Amino acid sequence: MRCGIALGSNLGDRLAHLRAAVAALRLLHAGPEPPLVSPVYETEPVDCEPDSPAYLNAVMEIRCERGALGLLRALQQIEHREGRPAAHDFHAPRTLDLDLLYLGDTVLQSPALTLPHPRIALRRFVLQPLADIRPEFILPGHTQPVAELLAGLPASPGVRLFPQNVQ
């Protein structure tokens, strides 16, 4: 199944954390074609503590044979290897944040995970990089392609293309 993952970092060497995540996610990729990796964006923090540092954000799509909760556990292990504590405040700055955006056509609501990600259509820092790799993709439970969802969001100077990539 196609699986979208949002990558974010706003502590330490942000680009190195994203690159380590991309390398680890490539190991989870089960398809013959290469995974899709978006450009990197520098973004203002959303719903974070005051004076939180800016984020680097990207989106990666892999093919995955794991179930949703197994994949979630794998993402949490990658975060932990990059220095994110297992117990953390919800909106605290972080070395690495990996959010499962979608997993095929799966629609899931559990205490551990909601798919597709419940705020994906509201967040430019997620939709912009996703639109770079999958503009025509229609998320489960939505009727508009990602590019149209992005176009419907208010303009934001807080999402800027970063000059370096994670590849």
Task: Give catalytic status of residue 119 as yes or no.
Answer: no
Tracing tokens 């909601």 back to the chain, one arrives at 114
- Residue 13 annotated among the catalytic residues of the structure: no
97 catalytic per annotation: yes
Assign 11 to helix, strand or coil: coil
Which DSSP category does 50 fall into?
T
**Active-site residue (options: 14, 19, 97, 132):** 97
Instruction: Spot the catalytic one: 2, 19, 66, 94.
Output: 94
96, 60 contact by CB (below 8 A): no
Could you tell me if 2 and 153 are in contact, meaning their C-beta atoms sit under 8 angstroms apart? no
Q: Which of 63, 66, 73, 99 is catalytic?
A: 99
105 belongs to the catalytic site: no
Residue 39 in contact with residue 140, Cβ under 8 Å?
no
How many C-beta atoms lie closer than 10 Å to residue 128's C-beta?
A: 23
What are the residue numbers of the active site? 84, 94, 97, 99
